[in-house]
Amino acid sequence: MDRPYDLVVRGGLVYDGQGGEPFEADVAVRSGRIAAVGKGLGAGAEEIDARGRIVGPGFVDIHTHYDGQATWESRMQPSSWHGVTTVVMGNCGVGFAPCRPDDHHRLVRLMEGVEDIPFPVLSEGLPWNWESYPDYLDKLAERRFDVDIGSQLPHAALRVYVMGQRGVDREPATEADIAAMASLAREAMEAGAIGFGTSRTLNHRSSDGSPIATLAAHEDELTGIALGIAKAGRGVLQVVSDFGDEDAEFAMLRRVVERSGRPMSFSLVQSPLRPSNYRTLLDKVEDAVAAGLRIKAQVAARPVGVLFGLELTLNPFSPYPVYKEIAGRPLAERVALMKDPQFRERLLSHPPEGRVRGRMRDWTNMHPVAGLPDYEPTPETSIAAVAERTGRAPEDVCLDHLVSNDGHAMIYVPVLNYSEGSLEPARAMMRHKDCVPGLSDGGAHVGTICDGSFPTTLLTYWTRDRTRGPRLPLADVFRLQARETARAVGLNDRGVLAPGYRADLNVIDYERLALHAPQVVYDLPAGGKRLLQRASGYSATVVAGEVTYRNGEATGALPGRLLRGAQAAPMAAAAG
């Protein structure tokens, strides 16, 4: 029998990623590309029955931190469990290349502090079989993955490579330093970097508490690097900033884009310290875009929140002196002690002295997790509310919850995007024409945050399950998380189900689609732990025409490759 196609996804409801109404069709694949979309297409060597299912493009996650994981692991989980078929790493200025041998520990300590990936994990896992950034890409190019991977040049690594200790100490870069960084940035883009990432936030610190080397980099340094990238003719700029002086900071970033001509994206969240600042920043973005500049804000699908637990990096009793006495003991031993009435009384009667960070004691913003966290929680579910209803102290309520489920219980703390007690600010950002989904941090914050599941939150909560406010159209979610994210970083060959585009797609049982509860697993190098979150309802995920996951389980296929820079749109799409 003649089988003109490698794969045919048959009879699904197609959301093609362009934002239009869905339609029933077959999707045919040949040689890793979409060959045809329509009814009654010819046979495939392999076929997937998608009747009663949704068929959409694979998701493109442009804000991850798999820089280490990609050197020792082939599966970029948790992202690849959530319909993601392309990831971009090297965000926030942290990564592992370029790096001289004497600086290995320095970059590991930085990643440990900024992204909460333990030192032993990175020390054992990283092969360090590179020095230059092109060397690093070459080593990644030898590997195979369950997703395509794009890498960005990290500013902190670049600065330390050129300036040594002066860079670590955040000294101003000299003209010679800037020229060297610009030359290496151009070399990185020509070798295949997707772009360049930098951090300007006090939240990013090395594990010894020192701020990230890029925190106060002057405008001439950023401009010089951006001009070096411009000479390569490709490459995007990615920034995270505190926007302390909002007007001056944005004006500076705008000038960098004006002078270099390179596209820029920056992280945008609602801060509890300045709850309305996201609106004024969006006004500035609109002005810049109207002037012809390519600037996007990366926004989150839910609160940027922290998980506390006895098995995790932090819990509300971490600062207590009595808890510190047992913090290094095995979980079961700690649970037994914390259930003991005498130990419990001693623990609670010796609270930490001095100032403790607000969220570690803010019982009104801590929500016990029983199964899946409520990502839009109400005040009634907080520890403070439970304590008031039951006539108990919040510390007692918290301690009882933490020792439940053999010590595996968790507490959810929404930190950003939740100043108003709802997700309306997040919805406003996601609906804005100059915003794209991002900030999942897949691969990072392994003991505190579990946000690699953002794409599934977009599909389930925002299009189907939300009751506390308006939802988002399903067609918009596919467009935003596939086509728009891809275009934001120059990957114009994916994110759309149309002939010529890359055959990355998902077959989804929409009614069954659901997030699972976060769980801790010990599968990192050196037996390191990490938070993971799975999903049900992804019937199949396809990368470059090969089925990588069926019903959430890996098939063994690893068609993903390192992406060497921007990717051109298919000729038919470009002509149209």
In contact, 25 and 486? CB cutoff 8 Å: no
Listed as ranges, residues in the chain with pLDDT below 70 are 1, 354-359, 572-576
Query: Which runs of consecutive H residues, i.e. helices, occur in 351-479?
Result: 383-390, 394-402, 424-431, 454-460, 474-478
pLDDT recorded at residue 7? 98
Three-class secondary structure assignment of 390-404 = HCCCHHHHHHHHHCC
pLDDT recorded at residue 361? 82
pLDDT recorded at residue 1? 54
* Within a domain: 53: no
pLDDT recorded at residue 360? 78
Residues 6+ apart with CB under 8 A from 519: 408, 531, 532, 533
* Within a domain: 576: no
> Is there a single domain that holds both residue 229 and residue 123?
yes
Instruction: Give per-residue pLDDT as tens, 279-309.
Output: 999 999 999 999 999 999 999 999 999 999 9
Helix pair 331-339, 341-348: axis angle to 10 deg: 90
* Within a domain: 191: yes
Number of domains comprising the chain: 2
Torsion, CA 454, CA 277, CA 488, CA 450, rounded to 10: -20
Which of 488, 505, 528 corresponds to the end of one domain? 488
> Is there a single domain that holds both residue 251 and residue 336?
no
pLDDT recorded at residue 19? 98
* Within a domain: 461: no
pLDDT recorded at residue 2? 82
> Is there a single domain that holds both residue 130 and residue 155?
yes
* Within a domain: 340: yes
> Is there a single domain that holds both residue 328 and residue 399?
yes
CA–CA gap between residue 286 and residue 305 (Å, rounded):
28
Residues 6+ apart with CB under 8 A from 345: none
532 membership: H or E segment, kind and range:
strand 528-532
Structural domain boundaries, residue 155: 90-141+150-306+417-439+484-488
Q: Hey, how many other C-beta atoms are within 10 angstroms of the C-beta on 82?
A: 28
- Pairing, β 535-536 against β 514-515: antiparallel
Residues 6+ apart with CB under 8 A from 130: 97, 99, 136, 138, 139
Q: What are phi and psi of 431, to 5 degrees?
A: -85, -10
Which of 378, 413, 448 corresponds to the end of one domain? 413
* Within a domain: 94: yes
Torsion, CA 56, CA 62, CA 63, CA 68, rounded to 10: 100
CA–CA gap between residue 416 and residue 271 (Å, rounded):
6
Which of 371, 396, 413 corresponds to the end of one domain? 413
Instruction: Give per-residue pLDDT as tens, 307-363.
Output: 999 999 999 999 999 999 999 999 999 999 999 999 999 999 999 876 655 567 899
